Amino acid sequence: MEHPSRARLEGVDVARALAMIGMLMVHVGPTRLDTVAGQWYALPHGRASVLFMLVAGVGISFLAASRRVAAEGLSGQLLWRALLLFPLGVALQAMQDELNVILQTYALFFVLSIGLVRLHTTVLLMMGLFALVLGPPLYLYGQMLDPDTFQRVGIGPDNPPGVMLHALLFSGPYPLITWIVPFLVGLWLGRCDLRSDVLRMRMLSVGILVAAAAWALHVGLFAWWGEPGGGLRWADLADMKAHSQRPLWLLNATGVAVAVLAVCLVSADRLGRAVWPLVATGQLALTFYVLHLVMIAVWRDQLVFKQEVSPALVVAAVFTGLFMLFAVGWRRVFRKGPLESLLVVPWAWRDPAKR
């Protein structure tokens, strides 16, 4: 069977595209409405970004398995991407009043992956388990001790280096101590045979089971302990609010991400060219992410509807449709997206065939 590093798995691109679309919906629309329409619209909230992180782990495992990347130097590839994404994320954060940019955490994980990809699979899984068990309580304890620091404030250019590092590791919107869980799951899945129908069915069933079990446990514990009040308490570990850094939210979002990836892998194989617009969009994910954040920063009053579902859906659908047309057209001419090509620039100039 052909290794995924030698023949692109387009289902991974589809999953990456869905993560982008989900984050777009969250950024332009309501996430806290009590109406049925509002609750359905908010389903990607806290899940799309976890899917994005999980797919990042899969992609890095593919990079590590690539003979071409190995010949060029995997560590250099990962370090270059981190050096590119971190200042880009900081610059994008400077443009945002309310949104939190994830690229800084991406950059951190690219650096850490220089060592992580060399670890045995069992060690990766044990690290993920320890992070799931210890990370959320550590984050909650930090909130109890210093609530002003643990406010999920984005990492911008006005933060001193020490504040940036603390936010990346512990207190930021995407702290290492919790977000490494879906990333490590992605690294592990990227080492598996994702072309196997048996594995895909297991991913789907286990993902759904984990997500459902986390939700049921949340409901049961809150029925026992009661809903959280005004202050923080250890019982809040049973909370499942999006981006709460709580264990049940992590389990639910990661389970959903694994199940969605399984569906995307099957769909890409079964539907073929019918999902090509999604595939092309996923292959230009960085361009999509940066472009939608810039547009929100420039035209926030015209694009963001935090109290209305219908106009937010229109904005998300129009932006996604236009970007899909752009992505399909771009991929007819170029192998990589406008920003994606920057990820390999230092190596491309050594090989005329890649330019």
- Inside any domain, residue 244: no
Question: What is the spatial distance between Cα 261 and Cα 254, in angstroms, rounded to a whole number?
Answer: 10
Tell me which of 228 and 184 has the higher pLDDT: 184
Residues 52-104: pLDDT tens digits?
999 999 999 999 988 777 667 889 889 999 999 999 999 999 998 889 999 99
Question: What is the spatial distance between Cα 267 and Cα 248, in angstroms, rounded to a whole number?
Answer: 28
Residue 188: what pLDDT? 96
Residue 74: what pLDDT? 86
- Inside any domain, residue 98: yes
Residues 291-321: pLDDT tens digits?
999 999 999 999 999 999 999 999 999 999 9
Phi, psi for 228 (deg, rounded to 5): -65, 145
Question: What is the spatial distance between Cα 194 and Cα 207, in angstroms, rounded to a whole number?
Answer: 15
Residues 126-135: pLDDT tens digits?
999 999 999 9
- Inside any domain, residue 66: yes
Count Cβ atoms below 10 Å from residue 208 Cβ, excluding itself.
15
* Domains held by the chain: number: 1
- Inside any domain, residue 165: yes
Among 12, 78, 22, residue whose Cα is nearest residue 242: 22
- Inside any domain, residue 224: no
Residue 4: what pLDDT? 40
Question: What is the spatial distance between Cα 198 and Cα 206, in angstroms, rounded to a whole number?
Answer: 12
Is pTM beyond 0.85 here? Answer: yes
- Inside any domain, residue 228: no
Phi, psi for 90 (deg, rounded to 5): -65, -40
Range of the domain at 17: 10-204+255-354
Tell me which of 347 and 106 has the higher pLDDT: 106
> Which helix (H) or strand (E) element contains residue 347?
helix 345-348
Residue 6: what pLDDT? 39
